[in-house]
Amino acid sequence: MGLSRWFPASCSRLSIFVCYAHEDRVLAEEIALALTNDGHNVFIDANKLKVSGNFNETIRRAIESADRFIFLISKSSMGQGKYPQTELDFAKDRWPSPQGKVWPVLVDPSVDVATLPVYLRGVQIHTVKGNAPAEIAAAIEKTRTLKTSCLAGVALALVALAGLAGYFLSSGRMTGASYALLKPQQVDFRPAVKPGPDDAWTASRLALTLIPVQYSNDSGKPVNVIEETVSLKLNDRPIAFKWFNEVEMKTNCPDWLCVKTSVGAQSLERALKRETMFMPASGESITWRDFLESVCNSKDDTLDVVLSSKASSTGMSGTVTNTRQTICKINLKGMREGLEKLGCKAGLQQPPVRLSPNCL
pLDDT for 24-60, tens place per residue?
Answer: 999 999 999 999 988 899 998 755 565 555 778 889 8
Chain centroid offset of residue 225 CA: 26
Secondary structure (3-state) at 320: strand
Q: Which residues does residue 287 pair with via DSSP β-bridges, in sequence order? A: 205
Kindly give the residue spans of alpha helices, DSSP state H, lying in the chain: 25-37, 55-64, 83-94, 118-121, 132-141, 148-171, 288-297, 332-340
Residue 104 has pLDDT above 50, yes or no: yes
So what's the pLDDT on residue 98?
A: 92
Phi, psi of 38, deg, nearest 5: -85, 0
Q: For residues 42 and 70, is the Cβ–Cβ distance under 8 A?
A: no
Cα-based distances in Å from 76 to 22, 84, 125, 229: 8, 9, 17, 71
pLDDT for 78-87, tens place per residue?
Answer: 988 889 999 9
Q: Give the integer Cα–Cα distance in Å for 213 and 266.
A: 13
Secondary structure (3-state) at 141: helix
State mean pLDDT over 281-297.
Answer: 86
What count of other Cβ atoms lies within 10 Å of the Cβ of residue 346? 8
pLDDT above 70 coverage of the chain, percent: 85
- How many residues make up the chain in this entry? 360
pLDDT above 90 coverage of the chain, percent: 48
What count of other Cβ atoms lies within 10 Å of the Cβ of residue 332? 19
Domains of the chain: 3-148 (3.40.50.10140), 180-340 (no CATH)
Residue 171 has pLDDT above 50, yes or no: no
So what's the pLDDT on residue 9?
A: 60
So what's the pLDDT on residue 172?
A: 47
Q: Which residue has the higher pLDDT, 134 or 172?
A: 134
Residue 3 has pLDDT above 60, yes or no: no
Q: By CB neighbour count within 10 A (0-12 exposed, 13-18 middle, 19+ buried), where does 25 fall? A: middle
pLDDT for 115-148, tens place per residue?
Answer: 999 999 989 999 888 888 999 999 988 888 777 6
So what's the pLDDT on residue 173?
A: 47
Residue 10 has pLDDT above 70, yes or no: no
Of 165, 201, 245, 173, whose CA–CA distance to 352 is shortest? 201
Q: By CB neighbour count within 10 A (0-12 exposed, 13-18 middle, 19+ buried), where does 275 fall? A: buried
So what's the pLDDT on residue 319?
A: 81
Q: Which residues does residue 259 pair with via DSSP β-bridges, in sequence order? A: 247
For 198-250, give the DSSP string: SSGGGGSBEEEEEEEEEEE--SSS-EEEEEEEEEEEETTEEEEEEEEEEE---
pLDDT for 12-24, tens place per residue?
Answer: 789 999 999 999 9
Q: For residues 117 and 90, is the Cβ–Cβ distance under 8 A?
A: no
So what's the pLDDT on residue 153?
A: 60
Q: By CB neighbour count within 10 A (0-12 exposed, 13-18 middle, 19+ buried), where does 351 fall? A: buried
pLDDT for 205-214, tens place per residue?
Answer: 999 999 999 9
So what's the pLDDT on residue 253?
A: 82
So what's the pLDDT on residue 322?
A: 86
Q: Which residue has the higher pLDDT, 157 or 95?
A: 95
Break the chain down into helix, strand, coil percent, rounded to 5. 30, 30, 35
State mean pLDDT over 56-83.
Answer: 91
Q: Give the integer Cα–Cα distance in Å for 86 and 36.
A: 25
So what's the pLDDT on residue 74?
A: 94
Verify cis geometry, omega within 30 degrees of 0, for the bond prior to 357. Answer: no
Average pLDDT of the residues of the chain: 85
Phi, psi of 74, deg, nearest 5: -150, 170
Q: For residues 212 and 274, is the Cβ–Cβ distance under 8 A?
A: yes
Q: For residues 150 and 4, is the Cβ–Cβ distance under 8 A?
A: no
Helices 25-37 and 132-141, packing angle to 10 deg: 40
So what's the pLDDT on residue 35?
A: 93
Residue 186 has pLDDT above 90, yes or no: yes
Secondary structure (3-state) at 170: helix
